[in-house]
Structure 1
Amino acid sequence: MPNLSDETRNTSSRGSSNDPDIIVLTWDGPNDPENPFNWPLWKKWWVTGLGLFATFISLMNGTMITVAHEAINTKFHVSDAAFPNSYWPIASWGLGGALFSLVLLPIMEDFGVRYVFLSVYSVFILFLIPLGAAQSFATLIVTRFFSGGCVAILANTVAGTISNVFHGNRERTIPISLYITVYLVASSMGPVVGASIFQFLSWRWIGYIELIWTGVFFPIFVLALPESRGSAILEKRARKLRKEGKNVYTQEALDAPPLLNVLLNSIQRPLYMLCTESVVFVGTAWSAFSLGTVYLFTQSVEQVYGELYGWDAIQAGYIQSAIAIGEILGLVFCVFSNRWYYASAARNTEIPNTPIPEARLYSAVVGAFSGVTGGMFIYAWTSYSYIPWIAPTIGLAMVGFGTTCVVVGIINYVVDAYSKFAGSAMGAVGLGENLFIAFLPLAAQSMYTNLGFQWASSLLAFISLVLAMAPFAIFIWGEKIRAKSPFMKEAINDRIEEAVMSDPQEV
């Protein structure tokens, strides 16, 4: 999930900006046309649209091959009788996403969005080749680990693009909501697209066709994707001036810490916040569980619809389009419910005329109760052969709706509540999400076999119900929770400063 902050760096590597021999390069005034915040609206949406498209075509990689697991098992003599071993290529994909985004992404951010995106996209293409050409099951597992890592970096780079061109939380709300929805819809549509290929061709063609379309679109990104990271644009100017003999550096280059410090900080702070910040822990558990259920459906839907209605893997793949439809409806609801967040400014006594961060969770609570929890119960108790297939399918759509509401609400709340530390907080959330993607679906087969369809889905519904209750504690004691958190305190101070600058009479 998105990394949306520019966290402070203090260690100097080249010298001090106070050195009289060094010229610190900045923008040519507040209206510099090359500053991404000053780009025309069409250009901001152009680069965002390209990023969202790239997110969609790459994230389908995570779930496309799930529909062909029986054919893959037969080819490589893998058995799912005692354990869903066919899920290991998807589990390794999620694990790669968790580790790459935690360790490598912060290092690669300094190179600029365009350079990182094109480089990682190229590597991703290389790791798609074994998906169709693999001669062993182990090859699939290992190469999928690296392709999952590449997709995680690509997706986070796209999220970074949004924060590079849209200034402030109000401007970013719609683009970030779109990004999260595309993230979810792509994951849900993977089995649908995979089924449409596997219906007519062998399982290897799922990999070949994905390789073809990923390669075909690469020249478009090379030609049309501009650099959107402001520091990278300034650094390019600085390099040009240094070639002319001028001792010019950007402030970010002067303040850049050693690479080892960046690596340690990128790993330590998210883990520290996950263990010490109750908001981060609850948000991670809630978001990770909701996203994990989307991947769990890649296992349970085939089992449920196969035993109840005699459907095969291809038909079960198609039916998962209902989840994607629900996720899109969730986006519509999130856009509509933004007014609840902005209306909360009128009753904010802590920082008058500023929206209350906890108001971001209103839509998440609605989605959790009526979507994920309610949908799971419907999916559970309509799982009888004498009930038409449309009934549990409605439950799937409701879960998709709720998942979008939950994830969008949590992402927006964490960004608001932690401000410049949002990057580390989201690193913790992203780690949890990828780990749940990797391992939660491994329990699907035993759950639905041992507990039965009704109680297996009900168990997930009850877990969702408990997680949905957590925000009420935040609503009641949110101000006290923020006061006890050293990370949130800084965010509060930043918000007070912004409020004072905008309207000093009200604060």
Structure 2
Amino acid sequence: MTSHPPPQAVEKHPDGSQNDTPTEDPEKQTGPDEPNFASRLSEGKSDSMGSAPQPSEEYIECPGRSQYRFNWSESRKWLITVVACFITFIVGINGTAITTAATQINERFNVSDASFPNSYWPITSWTVAAGIFPLAGLPLMETFGLRYGYLAAYCVFVVFIIPQAVCQNYATLIVSRVFSGGCAGILQNIAGGIVSDIWRGEGARSTPTALFIWAYLAGTTIGPVIGGAILKYLYWRWILYIQLIFYGAFFPLIYTVIPEIRAAVILSRRAAHLRHTTRLPYHTPDDLTHTSLSTLVTTAICRPLRMLCTEYVVFSITLWSAFCFGNCLLFTQSVGTVFTTLYSFTSPQTGFVQSALVIGITLGFLASLPHTRIYLRTRARNPERPNHPIPEARLYLSIPGSFVGLAGGFFWYAWTSYPFLPWILPAIGLGLVGFGIFTVVCAASNYLEDAYEKYAASAMAAVAFGENLFAGFLPLAEAAMYERLGLNWASCLLAFLGLALSAAPVVLVVKGRGLRARSPFMGESLH
């Protein structure tokens, strides 16, 4: 069939008559990157009397504005964003809440840490799966839509908490943690996609993205606090029983609030509905040029790995951000080592200490809000793309955050860890590190979104993969590191690593324009 230029949309009245006044251009309703129904649904046309569409001509159908995610009301966008971020927060709790119960779990299953930190396998299995599962799971959403994928992942996540709670051997606990962690990773990745999909424009997207990063980090770091509170009064299995009740109670909220946001999926369903009701061959370009699932999965895995290996920006940001996220998990081990050794804290008490990290992360979130105005002011001095902010401006706050918060906080934590000093001093160091971690991870996410645009999802998938691998395996070295180097020098080593990695945003700010010009991915995304 020959193609035609996109015609004007015709507004239909309920009685079948038409209004000759053209409605607002669908392109203006949807934005330049939003597929519109008027130009993409093909086959047939309605005559001026509202008769049935004829298959030899082109039929025009414009659905209501509510189906265009960019034109949803602010209140609806915020409701979806808050619910998606809330789910990101609570599923992260499952990842780390049982760390405070390591002693009881070891006793129950006869697990020994004498030669290797075997008690950490429940966390490693959960975290590594959270990095791997989305690579294979998210391409399924390209075909079936985000909503159904989100609901399915949440159901599987909840189901696999049951064997964690009732397991009779250590292997069952580890295997069930793999599936719950993998589904949690999918849920968190989809939530990030929801935030970036429904908020249009650099300024509008900044605060929702910061809220998502806060939920992602705070959920992981507050797990030991909640686990410690439960463990103070109940047996370790109750950490999981309570989670099971809690997660199950929120399924109706997810089912009610989270919509389908992928325009291609909505469009395809609309075409299918029209095919069914009119018996005419309505199709979308995506229907006619269907990409196989194997191709989607291959692209979803290979492109992020290729970018990780060939793009300096992706590689450096992955190291920088992965080190930060890895330390969120390392603290679930090192805080117990430091505060038990120096201050004779119990497992629940060491869990409470980690609330300092959450406080620091929250302060980082609050500091990011006014920074958005600084970022937007760079529109006036962007020679490459006038009226667009400079992507590297996303990194401004992360430079002091990384040097002072991340590296400085580690130095503080290292050299205030003495028994003759009050416990609050190393806890303040934890808060500084939490502040630095948030500024780094938030800046990394926003910068990749702005710099890569079209390929931002692949770039962020590479970073998320690195974060989860680092978080899964870095804490396994904690016991040997603190035993051989001592409490002070082990934390100081992490401080020096943080100091070295803090050079990454400086290099990107100074050399960012040249790096973007040489990048084939960033160059293509701008055209």
TM over 0.5: yes
Rounded to whole Å, the distance in 1 between the matches of 2:459 and 2:60 is 29
Equivalent residue number for residue 223 of structure 1:
256
Rounded to whole Å, the distance in 2 between the matches of 1:26 and 1:43 is 28
Counterpart contact for 1:27–1:35, Cα < 8 Å: no
Task: Describe how 1:87-486 pairs up with structure 2 within 5 A.
Answer: 87-244=120-277, 245-486=279-520
Counterpart contact for 1:25–1:234, Cα < 8 Å: no
Equivalent residue number for residue 110 of structure 2:
77
Cα deviation, residue 218, structure 1: 1.1
AA at the equivalent of 1:347: R
5+ long unaligned stretches in structure 1 = 1-7, 9-15, 494-507
CA spacing shift, 1:360–1:255, aligned 2, 3 Å: farther
Task: Describe how 1:480-499 pairs up with structure 2 within 5 A.
Answer: 480-493=514-527
Counterpart contact for 2:42–2:283, Cα < 8 Å: no
CA spacing shift, 1:352–1:165, aligned 2, 3 Å: closer
Rounded to whole Å, the distance in 1 between the matches of 2:313 and 2:330 is 25
CA spacing shift, 1:308–1:25, aligned 2, 3 Å: farther
CA spacing shift, 1:252–1:172, aligned 2, 3 Å: farther
Rounded to whole Å, the distance in 2 between the matches of 1:96 and 1:24 is 48
Equivalent residue number for residue 13 of structure 1:
none
Counterpart contact for 1:55–1:158, Cα < 8 Å: yes
TM norm structure 1: 0.91
Tell me the number of residue pairs that the alignment of Structure 1 and Structure 2 aligns. Answer: 478
AA at the equivalent of 2:181: G
Rounded to whole Å, the distance in 2 between the matches of 1:430 and 1:84 is 25
Counterpart pick for 2:72 among 32, 36, 39: 39
State the Cα deviation string for residues 232-283 of structure 1 (Å, max 9, x = none).
3323322221211132223333343111111111111100000000000000
Question: Is residue 99 of structure 2 the alignment partner of residue 66 of structure 1?
Answer: yes
Counterpart contact for 2:42–2:282, Cα < 8 Å: no
Cα deviation, residue 441, structure 1: 0.7
Cα deviation, residue 27, structure 1: 7.4
Counterpart contact for 2:42–2:59, Cα < 8 Å: no
CA spacing shift, 1:388–1:111, aligned 2, 3 Å: same
Comparing 97-106 with 342-351, greater Cα deviation is found at: 342-351
Counterpart contact for 1:380–1:392, Cα < 8 Å: yes
CA spacing shift, 1:421–1:24, aligned 2, 3 Å: farther
Cα deviation, residue 211, structure 1: 0.7
Counterpart contact for 2:41–2:284, Cα < 8 Å: no
AA at the equivalent of 2:274: L
CA spacing shift, 1:428–1:23, aligned 2, 3 Å: farther
Rounded to whole Å, the distance in 2 between the matches of 1:59 and 1:298 is 13
Q: Which has the larger radius of gyration?
A: 2
Q: 3-state SS of the aligned residue for 2:283? A: strand
Cα deviation, residue 491, structure 1: 2.7
CA spacing shift, 1:22–1:71, aligned 2, 3 Å: farther
Equivalent residue number for residue 50 of structure 2:
none
CA spacing shift, 1:190–1:303, aligned 2, 3 Å: same
Rounded to whole Å, the distance in 1 between the matches of 2:246 and 2:202 is 34
Comparing 360-369 with 178-187, greater Cα deviation is found at: 360-369
Counterpart contact for 1:65–1:206, Cα < 8 Å: yes
AA at the equivalent of 1:474: L
Counterpart contact for 1:22–1:249, Cα < 8 Å: no
Cα deviation, residue 17, structure 1: 8.1
Rounded to whole Å, the distance in 1 between the matches of 2:41 and 2:77 is 31
Counterpart contact for 1:98–1:431, Cα < 8 Å: yes
Cα deviation, residue 114, structure 1: 1.7
Cα deviation, residue 89, structure 1: 0.8
Rounded to whole Å, the distance in 2 between the matches of 1:260 and 1:337 is 42
Counterpart contact for 2:317–2:504, Cα < 8 Å: no
State the Cα deviation string for residues 353-376 of structure 1 (Å, max 9, x = none).
321111111111121011111110
Rounded to whole Å, the distance in 2 between the matches of 1:469 and 1:127 is 41
TM norm structure 2: 0.87
Rounded to whole Å, the distance in 1 between the matches of 2:254 and 2:137 is 22
Counterpart contact for 1:301–1:316, Cα < 8 Å: yes
Rounded to whole Å, the distance in 1 between the matches of 2:88 and 2:392 is 28
Rounded to whole Å, the distance in 2 between the matches of 1:352 and 1:46 is 33
Rounded to whole Å, the distance in 1 between the matches of 2:398 and 2:290 is 37
Which structure has more relative contact order (CA 8 Å, sep 6+)? It is 1
CA spacing shift, 1:361–1:88, aligned 2, 3 Å: same
Q: 3-state SS of the aligned residue for 2:396? A: helix
CA spacing shift, 1:446–1:169, aligned 2, 3 Å: same
Counterpart contact for 2:364–2:438, Cα < 8 Å: yes
Counterpart contact for 1:327–1:397, Cα < 8 Å: yes
